[in-house]
Each structure stands twice: as C-alpha cells, then as structure tokens.
Structure 1
Amino acid sequence: MITIIAAAGENNELGKNNDLVWHLPDDFKRFKQLTTGHHIIMGRKTFESFPKPLPNRTHIVITRNKNYRKEGIIVVSSIEEALEKAKEDSQPFIIGGGEIYKQSIPFADKIELTRVHGTFEADTFFPTFSKEHWTLVHQEFHEKDDRHNYSFTYETWQKK
C-alpha cells in the first residue's frame, strides 16, 4: 500500500522557501509514528530541508541530478524507480514536496493528510485530488492549544 503523507493548509499550502509555515508537534509525532520502519520517498529539496536523515527510515531521494550522492541514501531519478526500490516495504510513504506529491497521486492507495485550519503564504502546494476517486475513511479534529497555533484535522483518504 503506497501512502502519501502531508500537512496542508485550507488552500493546499505546504510550505514556503523549503520550510513549513506552521509548527504542530502532535503532527510531527504522528508522522514519526506512521513512517518509522518504512521507506520514505521524497524530492531532493525536501530531503535537504532536514538537518539530518530521519532515524529508523530508509530514505529514497528523487532528483534529476545524476551526480547527487549522500551517504546512506538511495538516489533515484523518478517516482517509478523510487517505488521499485521500496517494493519490499508493505507501506512506503511519499513525504513530498509538491511536485513529488503530484507525480505520486496516480500510484497512491492512501493519503494521510493533516488539514491545517488556516490560510498561509506559500510557494509549494499539495495537488488537488478528485473526491470522485478518493473516499474519506477517517477524520480526527484537534483544537488549537498552547502547543499548536492552529487547529487541524487528521484525514485518511482511501482510493476507490
């Protein structure tokens, strides 16, 4: 089962200047819980936004740069090649960015989307996906609190 995991604002905002535009500790915790032990597939800019590789996950980085190398990272040139490298994993996760999400929608079986309730200035966006092809199977609302400047809803979508 190929799963896309993302957090997006009300207008599908993902981030700006290769960074998130909100800080949601519970969402980070959920991301870690879901992706630990799995392959995580991402674009080069997303990978480079991390201070270091995320522990206990196999990193697959998609880039057009044929000479791109990082120790301990699998480097590929397409979403298809990334999925082939992750085929032994029962649930690889696509973790961004915007262009990688767009390319991966046709391959995905599930979307774990954290919908952040707010609008943000952004330069990267989550692709729109057709509710005709996807069913919302679970949602869980979290109110804004002293640790979270925005309320948000975890949404799980399954491909029909």
Structure 2
Amino acid sequence: MSAGPDTGRDAAPGGVGLIWAQTLDGVIGAGNTIPWRLPEDMAHFKATTLGHPVVMGRKTWDSLPARFRPLSGRRNIVVTRDPRWTAEGAERAGSIAEALGLAAGVTGVTDVAEMAAVTGVAGAAGVAGAAAAPTTAWVIGGGEIYRAALPYATTLSVTEVDSPVKGDTYAPTPDAAWTLTRDDGWQSSTSGLRYRIRRYTR
C-alpha cells in the first residue's frame, strides 16, 4: 500500500470523498469535539481537502475554532435545515444532495431524486457524472452528514486512532462494496498515540 500525504487525486474527478478520524470502535466525536490530539491527522486532512469543496453539517461548522472558519483555500458548504442560517465564508445547503450538487456545479438540486434526475444515474456515479467541476468534494462531518453522503461517495479516507476514548458520535461502517486500496500502517504520533491512514474506494 502507498504512503505519503493524500492530495485527493486518487478520487475520480467530480467525485465525492468522505474523510474522518475514528477510534478502533468507530468513535469520531464527543460533545461536538474531537476527543484526541493528532497533529499528523490534521496535516493529512489539510493536504487532502485543500483546493476542494468541503461539505459539513452546521454542528461541524460551529465546532471549528473561529479563527479557522471558513476553512481557507476551500469552498465551505454547510448543510442545515434552517433557511435563515448564514455565516461569512460559507454557503448554505438544505440537504446533502443540494450540497453535493453545489459542489459539482449543479444548481437547484434539493433531494436524492432530483440528483438522480439531473445525472441520469443514482448514487456515487450520479454525483460524479453531474460534475462540471474537475475536483473531488470532501464531506468532513459530522455523523449524520457522513451517513447521508455515504451512498454518493466514491472514496473514504479514514484515520484510525488507537485510543480507548468514549464518545457520542460514530463513523458509518463501510460495507462489502468498499475495497481497501491504501494502508500506511501503524505510525506513532508526536502526541504519543498510534494511528494509521487507510483509503477505501468503490
């Protein structure tokens, strides 16, 4: 398996990637925070998403430190049901389908059926086929948004953290349709934790 920083080039142009870090038990968050410190994963996240649209839920947006909102060098698309929500540097979408449509350069998409109608196909291939933009959209959280986006995804970038922390938010579980195509192997963080970065495609 290959090593080195992710750049997003492994995903199909216009495709959808999901990126997250989790414990071996699948915990990705606790109290709307990341319950560990892993500088290497932050560097991996930035290298992977920089220059690409990022899609997130409002709680994830709120959890970002104010000095990092919006995430620089990336188009920030925030999914929220509140039609009045606005934030400087962010675009609002009312659903994951609308957010992925915006990221792919397709306007007016508000639900899964419309995305399929626009593209002629459903799921991940539909989003990729719709894309006018030559870039991957990265979904960055949280749990509900990951699960809603998973049917459209072509790539998963998962950092596994060897930590027993408890949490209240969990990653989706990839099914048999996903193939492990990259595994950097276990490494030691400067924070003392063990971690490994894995990539899945379908």
1:89 CA drift (Å): 4.8
Larger radius of gyration: 2
**Pairing partner for 1:75 from 80, 92, 97:** 92
Counterpart contact for 1:41–1:95, Cα < 8 Å? yes
Aligned-pair identity (%): 34
Which segment is superposed worse, 111-120 or 93-102?
111-120
Asked if 1:123 is matched to 2:168, the reply is yes
Residue equivalent to 1:158: 201
**Pairing partner for 2:43 from 29, 43, 50:** 29
Is the strand fraction higher in 1 or 2? 1
**Pairing partner for 1:13 from 21, 27, 32:** 27
> 1:3-27 deviations in whole A, cap 9, x for unaligned?
0000010111001111001111011
1:109 CA drift (Å): 0.1
**Pairing partner for 1:56 from 66, 69, 73:** 73
Q: 2:157 corresponds to which letter in structure 1?
A: E
Asked if 1:140 is matched to 2:140, the reply is no
Q: 1:53 corresponds to which letter in structure 2?
A: P
Calculate the aligned-residue CA RMSD, in Å. 1.1
**Pairing partner for 1:106 from 146, 151, 168:** 151
Which ranges in structure 2 are unaligned for 5 or more consecutive residues?
1-14, 105-132
Counterpart contact for 2:70–2:88, Cα < 8 Å? no
Say which SS state the counterpart of residue 141 (structure 1) adopts.
Answer: coil
Change (3 A) 1:77 1:89: farther
How many residues align structurally? Answer: 157
In the alignment, the residues of structure 2 paired with residue 4 and residue 93 of structure 1 have an alpha-carbon distance, to the nearest angstrom, of 6
| TM-score, length of structure 1 as denominator length | 0.94
